[in-house]
Chains A and B, each alone.
Chain A
């Protein structure tokens, strides 16, 4: 028997520098190297607006979300939450609740020791924020569980709280964490060049302070999980953007091997960054289900969802920009305060200041403040949305000071390279965003048109540019399998949050296979049955999983041709595929995929693919330019956005209609952030005043302006072989700044705080009440 010859290695190690230290990482090469789909590629499925493949389930009401799941014998959990922002539990007696008929079990601190979420021990009897879980119980129905909560005897001893950054930083402020009210690494400082020298040499310098609010994700489906044990193995259905992350969190918390946990997400009702791992509901459901040996469902009610399911942190940004008379930047100096809540990660506004414009002298300092409020969570382009408001408002202030066109000031500071990490971009078409966006908006016409001065309603225009890391990367895996009827399945453990990944990945597979899109199905969302794919965060899914799917489809295609060659009495090199048919080139002999698979019977055609490494030392980013026109009623302070034009650069667009829907959705979320959305907190009582969908105001259908959102630039073949980059987060980034700049333009008075609510504008125009 012959020994196989030396096989090419699939794994190599490489040294990577991470924050000044060298780390060895493993690099995996895919089984096949594919020619990139560059601008010359002739694609027939990718690039088409195929209807969303799961639309029928959604419009018929048959799509099952986690909250819809009913398992036999299922119990419903409810969570008792702290009524004060700080203090401790003095008495907690669940016996009266347990005595009620239908109440089946409780979960207390003793049962969850060592399980923390955002640094807070689950069911800690020391209270760190209002809404903090103190105990959970479960009952035969949701109604019974909630009524049982009211029977629990709870006594708390309140303590002084600090629920805003200013409270937390004040002299004599109470300690939010034992170690203090700012993070250990605060201020987190970045410098390049010499800001002081830059300012000394500047023709003008402007200094401003900008404020952004706490914003709440407000996905329609709340956080929730259903857990069911079978022996020592648990299945958890979870509304999540990251099934593998959720599994890892749960395995660590329960001290159970990964292989004993299965996490499933089929349909999920929105995440926007808040659902990236196990949540309180996950642990509560899993532990109660284990104790009672019955399935347990734990779903947050809306008040809990708006209080303790993550938020975009509030910021205060003190910005100084130095520029020359021609508008070129010579210094950017940012000092920012970010209110994280009780914990979360350090998403700050500074990064976009460092990346977006060419400027040799930059200093950013971020102070992360802890407060007695729910922990922050990533929210669509975390940090960049907040930072873009400050930076882009300041850029407009520079333009006004110099009496220059704000768009021209952006152009004059075009960054050809990623200066944050000093490396080239794989592709950058921000200049085309400026050109095509401004043209479709009529920027120059509107700027030079005669302004109507006076009158109750004033019009204004504004713009903002943006960038966002969008390259994705390994690891990510997929299989493509042909079924006995010739149809194909794409198998990958990724997620579809409404982003359309089911459709987009099927298109990529169909393109590479030469199959009809109607014959290709994507199966996702199951850690046990499907290969690893990363969380659907950071706009990485298409750019990470897409290439893996393409490799898997190519492997399957080669196997298909190999098999078909036998039936057509040819060699595989003589064959090609198109529209679900195998062709013998130069003849009219064909076999459909179905015919080949039927002849194969139970012999399988299956390809596997992985995501290869990213190009070295190259920045793969998305860019955009957003333009807004507004009308402001100076008596009522109401802002009406008349139109938004948004030009975006995200490489190859797999499905134009679905991509446009992402742009529109992000723009509308940006409008909410600009005009309506803020968590309002009663500083004295330490409680949020608007944890509802009525009082925390997300945009309604009546708030939508005319939106013209489109893509420029074409495929980025240097980023990965599909040419596609992420596009889901960029569209929210510049909107608040574009709208605020337009309002400033309309009023002739600078706005520096969002949301631009009527009362805020009235106070600005007429003085505070």
Chain B
């Protein structure tokens, strides 16, 4: 089957029961999407399906035939994703980095949907992404800063 992931189309053969997280990581070598629980409980595997956040570990690859998949590897291409990348670095919104791809992908979806989120909006949108290092305060700051940056008409 053909999978549309980030900027490209991939031709894969997958068993019907295979999860998208497995296809991405094992077959396609796109290891940016992490698996921390494999049960849809932590958000580390967050990807976008047609722009909507989904847990790749709870998504069957076979169900993605006609969807556009965005992973962390492609998230930087969008204006929001690019601003998020810069903001996460500038605001130290990363510690060990394992939850970071999922955080950024979820935040990308938020900013694409809502260019001027309040802090409450950010907290709600990101509440499906767990971080054990406790980077949350800086993640909130980074997402709000990225929103500013991305919506500023004068910025790059």
Contacts and interface: CB of A to CB of B under 8 A. Distances in A.
Q: Real complex partners, A and B? A: yes
Interface string B99-135: 1110010000000000000000001101101111111
B114 to A, nearest CB: 16
B62 to A, nearest CB: 14
Interface in A37-70: 49, 51-52, 54-65, 67-68, 70
A302 B126 CA distance: 21
A665 B133 contact: yes
Contacts of B34: 65, 67-68, 220-221, 269
A229 B98 CA distance: 28
A268 B94 contact: no
B39 interface: yes
Contacts of B35: 67
Interface residues of B, number: 54
B41 A692 contact: yes
A55 B96 contact: no
B50 interface: no
B123 A701 contact: yes
A661 B123 contact: no
Contacts of B31: 61, 64, 68, 70
Contacts of A61: 30-33, 71-73, 75, 100-101
B135 A693 contact: no
A220 B36 contact: yes
B54 interface: no
Nearest to B32: A61
Interface residues of A, number: 58
A68 B22 CA distance: 11
Given A301-B38, A658-B92, A661-B92, A59 B100 contact: yes
Nearest to A52: B92
B39 A51 contact: no
A58 B92 contact: no
A664 B94 contact: no
A141 interface: yes
A586 B93 CA distance: 44
B7 interface: no
A660 B95 CA distance: 11
Contact of A664 (B85, B124, B129, B137): B137
B127 A702 contact: yes
A498 B133 contact: yes
Contacts of B22: 142-143
Contacts of A699: 134, 136
Contact of A661 (B42, B100, B138): B138
A498 B96 contact: yes
A531 interface: no
Nearest to B143: A701
A661 B33 contact: no
A55 B101 contact: no
B1 interface: no
Contacts of B97: 54, 57-59, 63, 65, 267, 269, 498
Given A67-B34, A302-B36, A52 B89 contact: yes
Interface string B68-102: 00011101100000001100111010111111110
A701 B139 contact: yes
Given A666-B134, A699-B134, A141 B72 contact: no
B52 to A, nearest CB: 19
B48 interface: no
Contact of B36 (A70, A217, A693): A693
B144 interface: no
B73 A51 contact: no
B96 A220 contact: yes
A58 B139 CA distance: 14
A555 B73 CA distance: 41
Contacts of A669: 132, 134
Nearest to A663: B134
A221 B96 contact: yes
Nearest to A49: B92
B98 A65 contact: yes
B152 interface: no
B89 A55 contact: yes
Given A497-B96, A661-B138, A220 B132 contact: yes
Interface in A697-751: 698-702, 704, 707
18 contacts: A51-B89, A55-B88, A61-B30, A63-B97, A219-B96, A269-B36, A270-B98, A302-B39, A497-B96, A498-B95, A498-B96, A499-B95, A664-B134, A669-B134, A692-B39, A700-B136, A701-B127, A702-B127
Given A61-B72, A269-B36, A498-B96, 6 more contacts: A68-B25, A219-B98, A221-B34, A270-B96, A658-B92, A701-B131
